[in-house]
Structure 1
Amino acid sequence: MENYTHTISELPGKILNLPFVFEDVVYMRGESNYTIFTLVNRKQYITSRTLRVYEALLPDTFVRIHKGCIINLAYLESLCNAERVAQLKDGSSIGIARRRWPQVKNMMLKHKLRTMY
């Protein structure tokens, strides 16, 4: 049995126990009605909830970069202007939607993240 370190009770009539805290999440991907969490230690967890459910509960260090992905700005290494790609500290590269690009750049500046190339 796993120890649950994060309990969400804001969901109407439901309590959801997650075996990690949001601060450990590097990024989240939505696949149909599932969300795949990728953590700092490269471990992945799958839940049967959509990204939209979690998006409302996340701290302000998280930003949706396209329809199927939310990243944690604490793990953002850099942004590539030419290709609109987010480079994460775990080595992942994730494309950013054209219409979300201005929001991601503003969030990066707000959180005083450094690199853009």
Structure 2
Amino acid sequence: MNKLKTLLVDDEYSAIEGLAIRLEAFPQIKVVGYARNVADALALISKTEPDLIFLDIEMPGQSGFELIKQLQPENCPAIIFVTAFHQYAVKAFEVRALDYLLKPVKKERLAEAIARVVARAEPQPNKQQLLEVADIVQNAAATSPTDTATYRIEQEKLLIQDGHHPAQLIPYRDILWIDAAGDYMCVHTSNETFVMRARMKSLISEVLPDGFVRIHKSTIVNLQHVAKLEPLINSEYKLTLVNNKALKVSRTYSKQLKESLSA
């Protein structure tokens, strides 16, 4: 296939430079320009007609989301967000981003993201690919809830399938915590965030194995990754994970958490 014309958009030059160096390892990619704000990016998009944009979110003036709003849907390049903030993941997938990478970007995750773009650009998948996708969809549908996403237990892994992106299998042992964002759930590992459409109640009662405990109406933690529990006022607690992420434990769930930790 032809090389993917690629545009890098980030207000930090060091981030652009670092990503450009990593992309040199991928022969499918041809970087055709750099931009440090939305206005310059729009001008380059008009000039170069890129196939792919690596896009930062928080930039002076206008954000990466505002850039996407100004693109024609039928001509929109593939978008891979590259950001230091996990909290935008839900919104990123709502605007049909192909992937969401957290800084610093690891080479393995970069390779996965590029593979998705390449797969999307291929005019027709081969027979084996079709069979693999059909198998995933068929297995997922067997346990599909009423939501449009699918999740189930499969070989000690959580299956995430949102209908717009390839299925993800996340080992339960790698999940640190899960939090709610509207109708979506953000599944956090030590260095990645995955988004799924699911209900908190269904996850904790029907899907997640023992060792996952609800600590708030919008938060579940994996007890294996709890480093410290400190009392606050009004019978609430501050829970710290092994990656130093601090989470609030509400009074409603504090007793259950303490019992689970002491078990």
Q: TM-score with structure 2 length normalisation?
A: 0.37
**Quick one: which amino acid aligns to residue 104 of structure 1?**
L
CA distance in 2, matches of 1:66, 1:30: 10
Q: Distance in 2 between matches of 1:100 and 1:51?
A: 14
Name the residue aligned to 2:219. 69
For the pair 1:43 / 2:196, whether they are aligned, the reply is no
**Match among 18, 28, 32 for residue 178 of structure 2:** 28
Residue 86 of structure 1 is matched in structure 2 by 239
Aligned pairs for 1:89-108 within 5 A = 89-108=242-261
3-state SS of 1:90 partner:
coil
Deviation at 1:53, TM superposition (A): 2.5
Gap change, CA 1:30 and 1:12, over 3 Å in 2: closer
**Contact between 1:63 and 1:71, CA under 8 Å: does it hold in 2?**
yes
1:12 CA drift (Å): 4.5
Kindly state the Cα deviation for residue 10 of structure 1 after the two structures are TM-superposed: 3.7
SS in 2 for 1:100: helix
Specify the alignment match of 1:114 in structure 2.
none
> As a proportion of its length, which structure holds more helix?
2
Gaps of 5+ in 1: 111-117
Query: Given the superposition, is the C-alpha separation of residues 12 and 35 from structure 1 closer, same or farther in structure 2, using an over 3 Å criterion?
Result: closer
Deviation at 1:51, TM superposition (A): 1.8
Structure 2 Cα separation of the partners of residues 82 and 32 of structure 1: 27
Structure 1 stretches of at least 4 aligned residues deviating more than 6 Å after TM superposition: none
Q: Of the two, which has the highest radius of gyration?
A: 2
TM-score scaled to structure 1, two decimals? Answer: 0.78
| Greater RCO (CA < 8 Å, at least 6 residues apart) | 1
The more displaced of 27-36 and 74-83 is 74-83
Tell me the distance in 2 between the aligned counterparts of 1:21 and 1:36: 15
Question: Quick check: which one's strand share is greater?
Answer: 1
Amino acid paired to 1:85? K
Contact 1:32 1:50 in 2 (8 A): no
Tell me the distance in 1 between the aligned counterparts of 2:171 and 2:184: 18
Deviation at 1:11, TM superposition (A): 3.6
For residues 82 and 69 of structure 1, the distance between their equivalents in structure 2, rounded to whole angstroms, comes to 18
Aligned length: 105
Q: Which runs of 5+ in 2 are unaligned?
A: 1-114, 117-138, 152-158, 161-167
In 2, Cα distance between the equivalents of 1:44 and 1:63? Answer: 19
SS at match of 2:260: helix
Q: C-alpha offsets along residues 53-103 of structure 1, whole Å, 9 cap, x if unaligned?
A: 321211110000010000000000010023501110011000001121111
More deviation in 51-60 or 27-36? 51-60
